[in-house]
Structure 1
Amino acid sequence: MLEKWLRPEEVVRGKHGKELLCNQYRCGSLLGSGGFGSVFSGQRLSDGLQVAIKQIPTDRVQQWTKLPGEVSPVPMEIALLQQLAEVGGHGGVVHMLDWFLLEGRGFLLVLERPPLCQDLFDFITERGALPERLALRFFRQVVEALRFLHAHGVVHRDIKDENIVVDTRTLEVKVVDFGSGARLKETAYSEFAGTRVYSPPEWIECQSYKAVPLSVWSLGVLLFDMVCGDIPFEHDQEIIKATPTFTRRVSKECQSLICWCLSYRPEERPTLEEILSHPWMEGGKEEEEEGSLLEDHSSLPNQSL
């Protein structure tokens, strides 16, 4: 339980001052944990809103930065999420509602959480490879979310199925977990804290990459994962070879988009805009608009996190 991590005598300082977390939120059970901390269920006391509370111990913070008006540095994740919130946020990106500092121990992030949701890794594990029209619906939303991030100076750097949350009622998805995120820049990055099997050849070989080609490579891995039921590469040599082997029947148009995203040379990969105008992406618009994807909605897993 999260309460065990909180000591009554500690000062818990939120973004609006010294307002105690326990006066605003009720903490629940563990939802999951990873390299950057643990996530718990929660509820906002003022209106009963379901939330997720992410615990980040100080020693797990990868990057620090300063916020306007704050004396002490905060995790880059907080700064990026606050930056996105200040421009109104995006439906495909998780929204940070609040954050708290536990002096000397770490940080707590309060995040929105759909009442019936499941991460895409579990969604695929339960259902197997997704029909292309469903994969397209999810994929378009992720690409649009990344366009929003890049337009507002943020690069996620860890796009993968575990960091995509599906609302199983509406089939809407959100990009979550900005623990590997950074401020967007035109020049190359020389540090990477994302997931290696989603990383591009240039990182494996040269420990250097640029934001857009990295994001597009990860999108290629993600789309392959959705339509084939598993990721295309497990080992460094497979990543460097950059030649996915399709293990299921996948349309030629979908294969061509995946292979374009997984081009060995970064400069040969598409932009996010080029992905959205690809024939495979264009081909699914009419079906989505007609709502045909929701026909078997009742068969979707109804797992409440």
Structure 2
Amino acid sequence: MFEVRSAEFEWKDVRGKIGQEPFSSRYSCGPLLGSGGFGSVFSGQRLSDGLQVAIKQIPSDRVQQWTRLPGEVNPVPMEIALLHRLSEVGGHVGVVRMLEWFEVEGRGFLLVLERPPHSRDLFDFITEIGALPEHLALRFFRQIMEALRFVHAQGVVHRDIKDENIVVNTRTLEVKIVDFGSGALLKQTPYSEFDGTRVYSPPEWILSHTYEAVSLTVWSLGVLLFDMVCGDIPFEYDKEIVQATPLFTRRVSQECQSLIRWCLSYRPEERPTLEEILSHSWMEGGEVDEEGRELQEDHSSRSL
């Protein structure tokens, strides 16, 4: 793996599009924010205006899918192509935006991503305060749904929807979907490869290593919504996933339980579409009440 701040790193090796300024003249790289199977993410700053960014390093040997971009000679990781596709149409407020990318010759790639202020991922958010009040879960879930509708409309499927890939602005309570490292081009036929998170994967993947884009996404959304309102995911083991029977550990409204169970239907064809989720009775509920305002103010005072 390469390291942006290593003494051995050669800045002359970092290039992007023809005519693009070198990385080192445009950005500074700060502390590690997190790492996973596809690379590491560092805090960074754009030197021209001080904009805070996230810099994702992707070693070439960890890239699962390659593709080509118009005007580029060399293939690039699928993640770059997907983010490019989502950004070139103007992007969406609920989807992380790629500002630009660079190639580290012979080593990998650097993706420069927007970094929302006062942000933390939803996993840490839930870990701190526990199960979310339903009105707050609804506020987050509705934003996620609208963002996913945009993503799918652009011919992209994320394939790793989970709390760690949702970033929350703790002051505004706006959320963004991040990390398209497991993503793919959306297609109507089944997929036979999966690099997402197993405990968010559906029974059909566990049993037959195949799934379709929308039914996978909807299953993951059911796991995510359960996680938000109960404070933890419903399934830990394969045998629990294939049973597809979530056991609610907290008081959750019947409407919310109904939506979660629908998303977690054993048969993929019995799960709702994204549009059907958005028209579910629970989704039509209110988001803001006195408790919600107090929670937002509390997080504003403690935000990072």
Q: Give TM-score, length-normalised by structure 1.
A: 0.95
2:295 matched residue in structure 1: 296
- Paired residues of 2:45 and 2:53 also in contact (CA < 8 A): yes
Q: What is the total number of aligned residue pairs between the two structures?
A: 301
- Paired residues of 1:163 and 1:177 also in contact (CA < 8 A): yes
- Shift in Å, 1:300: 1.4
Instruction: Give the SS at the match of 2:242.
Output: helix
- Paired residues of 1:39 and 1:55 also in contact (CA < 8 A): yes
1:200 and 1:5, CA in 2 relative to 1: closer, same or farther beyond 3 A? farther
- Which runs of structure 2 are paired with 1:14-163 in the superposition (5 Å)? 14-163=16-165
Q: Structure 1 stretches (4+) deviating beyond 4 angstroms? A: none
In 2, distance between residues paired with 1:226 and 1:2?
35
Give deviations 1:106-142, integer Å, cap 9, x for gaps. 0000000112100000000000000000000001111
- Paired residues of 1:149 and 1:155 also in contact (CA < 8 A): yes
- Paired residues of 2:11 and 2:24 also in contact (CA < 8 A): no
In 2, distance between residues paired with 1:6 and 1:299?
45
Q: Give TM-score, length-normalised by structure 2.
A: 0.96
- Paired residues of 1:161 and 1:222 also in contact (CA < 8 A): yes
Which amino acid in the other structure matches residue 43 of structure 1? Q
In 2, distance between residues paired with 1:65 and 1:12?
20
- Shift in Å, 1:303: 4.2
Give deviations 1:80-101, integer Å, cap 9, x for gaps. 0001111100000000001000
Which amino acid in the other structure matches residue 254 of structure 2? K
1:240 matched residue in structure 2: 242
- Shift in Å, 1:251: 0.5
- Shift in Å, 1:8: 2.4
- Shift in Å, 1:297: 1.7
- Paired residues of 1:12 and 1:19 also in contact (CA < 8 A): no
Alpha carbon RMSD of aligned pairs, Å?
Answer: 1.5
1:29 and 1:78, CA in 2 relative to 1: closer, same or farther beyond 3 A? same
Unaligned segments of structure 1, at least 5 residues: none
2:201 matched residue in structure 1: 199
Give deviations 1:131-172, integer Å, cap 9, x for gaps. 000000001111111100000000000000000000011000
Alignment of 1:183 with 2:185, yes or no, is yes
